[in-house]
Structure 1
Amino acid sequence: MKCNVGKTDKVIRVIAGLAIGVAGFYFKSWWGLVGFIPVFTALIGWCPLYLPFGINTCKK
């Protein structure tokens, strides 16, 4: 697993993930758990959906 999530991408993922989680909590919906996915991929620095498309936002 090579890093394919760059610094800016990580920040965006954490913000979006937290926003989804807060919205899920506010509306009392299980959909808020989806917010953990972008936060998790930001923390590990690897996104499996980038592989088939050949996307890499990590600087070499």
Structure 2
Amino acid sequence: MTANVGNIDRIIRILAGIALIAWALMGGPAWAWIGVLPLATGLFRFCPAYRLFGINSCGLKK
């Protein structure tokens, strides 16, 4: 797995994931558990959808 999620993208995914999971824990709708996906992709720095569509937000490789 090659990293394809950049730093800013990573921070946004982690914060959004935590917010959705917190909402689900506080009695929000069941679909709020989808926050596990952006949290995981942010932590692992890999997004399967990005690979499928050929997107890479990591920037230029040296």
TM superposition score normalised by structure 1: 0.84
Structure 1 residue 43 corresponds to structure 2 residue 43: yes
The amino acid of 2:5's aligned partner reads V
Whole-angstrom distance in 1 between the partners of 2:43 and 2:50: 15
Which runs of no fewer than 5 residues in structure 1 stay unpaired? none
Q: How does 1:1-60 map to 2 (within 5 A)?
A: 1-59=1-59, 60=61
Q: CA deviation at 1:29?
A: 4.0
Q: Percent identity?
A: 40
Which runs of no fewer than 5 residues in structure 2 stay unpaired? none
Query: How many residue pairs end up in the alignment?
Result: 60
Whole-angstrom distance in 1 between the partners of 2:13 and 2:20: 10
Tell me the C-alpha RMSD between the 2 structures: 1.4
Whole-angstrom distance in 2 between the partners of 1:22 and 1:5: 23
